[in-house]
């Protein structure tokens, strides 16, 4: 009997995934470049101990205000700390606070938006008026109010109050967008079928509505990660964010950095470039995700 050899084949699901990835790379080159920058930023933050050449907290009066050299790639600050190492560790701070606050704000906003659209009527009206009150405050002002009211609450080196202060202004903006998408989902036949089957309101919202709102949710999440990073830098610059000596990009722009700008401009330039690069990367990737996931934007 002849031997029968079975050649390995790629499953249709895996083939479709590879085709979708290739199509995304072809149609969204800026999104791919932004994704590469985000991945490099995440790897730098995760493996900061291995990537950074110096301890970000190590001071040296002999090494203070040195310009960029091969020994210190981006120079040193007024305390002799290596700026490149502090930017690497600052990526970890920006990602932890940015991702956490954006995820909390977008998730709560999505649930509130879906709930408001599902119940409608008086519940929808009351929830929207409460969210309008939060929307009347600019992001930075509302975050400043939360930080000033709650004070600092560091846990494992992470300021939970800062995360909450950045997440709260995100909630009403995400809720408004998700509500508009949820109004369409609410009229779908499977929602009526779930009601007829006697499912609870919580189950219908969480298991039937929210999963079908993942496309706008992911788009909003990537967009607000950039805003969260920028807001964290702004609060740190104003002295209400991350406290010294924790490496943070916004904190590197404040304090003595402004005093020595004319003498050592690299103290301000390189942290500013890091903030701009991160914000641009997440914004461009969010735009690429929107163009890819939303059929209205596809060619």
> Which of 208, 198, 46, 51 has its CA nearest to residue 117?
208
Residue with tokens 């002295």, as numbered in its chain: 239
The answer to whether residues 260 and 78 touch, using CB atoms and an 8 Å cutoff, is yes
Q: Residue 267: what pLDDT? A: 86
Q: What CATH architecture does domain 29-54+64-292 belong to?
A: Orthogonal Bundle (1.10)
Q: Residue 188: what pLDDT? A: 83
The answer to whether residues 267 and 260 touch, using CB atoms and an 8 Å cutoff, is yes
Tally DSSP H helices, then E strands, for the chain.
13, 2
Q: Residue 296: what pLDDT? A: 52
| Pure H helices in 58-206 | 83-119, 121-135, 139-150, 160-186, 189-196, 201-203
The b-or-e profile of 83-113 (16+ CB within 10 A means b, else e) is: bbbbbbbbbbbbbebbbbbbbbbbbbbbbbb
> Which of 160, 164, 159, 158 has its CA nearest to residue 142?
164
The tens place of each residue's pLDDT in the chain, 299 residues long, gives: 444 444 455 566 566 666 667 776 777 778 788 889 999 989 988 898 888 888 888 888 888 888 888 888 888 888 888 888 889 998 888 888 888 899 999 999 988 888 888 888 888 888 888 888 888 887 778 887 887 777 766 655 567 788 888 888 889 989 988 888 888 888 788 888 888 888 888 888 888 888 888 888 888 888 888 888 888 888 887 777 777 777 888 888 876 666 677 778 888 888 889 988 998 898 888 888 777 766 554 54
> Which of 114, 135, 298, 294 has its CA nearest to residue 218?
294
Helices 83-119 and 266-293 sit at what angle, rounded to 10 degrees? 30
- Which pair of structure tokens corresponds to residue 77? 């600050």
What is the reported pTM? 0.80
Q: Residue 255: what pLDDT? A: 64
Q: Residue 104: what pLDDT? A: 92
Domain boundaries, the chain: 29-54+64-292
- Which pair of structure tokens corresponds to residue 230? 């920028």
């Amino acid at each position: 009997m002849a031997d029968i050899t079975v050649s390995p084949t790629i499953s249709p699901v895996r083939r479709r995934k590879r085709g979708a990835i290739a199509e995304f790379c072809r149609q969204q080159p800026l999104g791919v470049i932004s994704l590469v920058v985000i991945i490099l930023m995440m790897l730098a933050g995760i493996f900061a101990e291995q990537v950074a050449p110096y301890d970000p907290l190590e001071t040296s009066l002999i090494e203070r205000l040195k310009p960029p050299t091969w020994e210190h790639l981006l120079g040193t600050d007024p305390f002799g700390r290596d700026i490149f190492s502090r930017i690497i560790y600052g990526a970890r701070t920006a990602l932890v606070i940015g991702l956490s606050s954006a995820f909390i704000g977008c998730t709560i906003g999505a649930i509130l938006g879906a709930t408001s659209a599902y119940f409608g009527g008086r519940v929808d009206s009351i929830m929207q008026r409460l969210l309008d009150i939060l929307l009347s405050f600019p992001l930075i002002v509302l975050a400043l109010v939360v930080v000033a009211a709650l004070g600092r609450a560091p846990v494992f080196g992470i300021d939970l109050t800062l995360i909450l202060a950045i997440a709260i202004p995100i909630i009403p903006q995400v809720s408004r967008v998700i509500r508009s998408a949820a109004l369409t989902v609410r009229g779908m036949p499977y929602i009526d079928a779930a009601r007829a089957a006697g499912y609870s309101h919580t189950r219908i919202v969480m298991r039937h509505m929210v999963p079908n709102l993942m496309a706008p949710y992911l788009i909003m999440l990537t967009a607000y990660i950039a805003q969260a990073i920028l807001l964290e830098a702004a609060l740190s610059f104003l002295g209400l964010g991350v406290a010294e000596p924790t490496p943070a990009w916004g904190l590197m722009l404040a304090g003595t950095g402004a005093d020595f700008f004319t003498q050592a401009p690299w103290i301000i330039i390189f942290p500013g470039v890091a903030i701009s690069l991160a914000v641009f990367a997440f914004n461009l990737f969010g735009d690429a995700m929107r163009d890819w996931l939303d059929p209205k934007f596809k060619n």
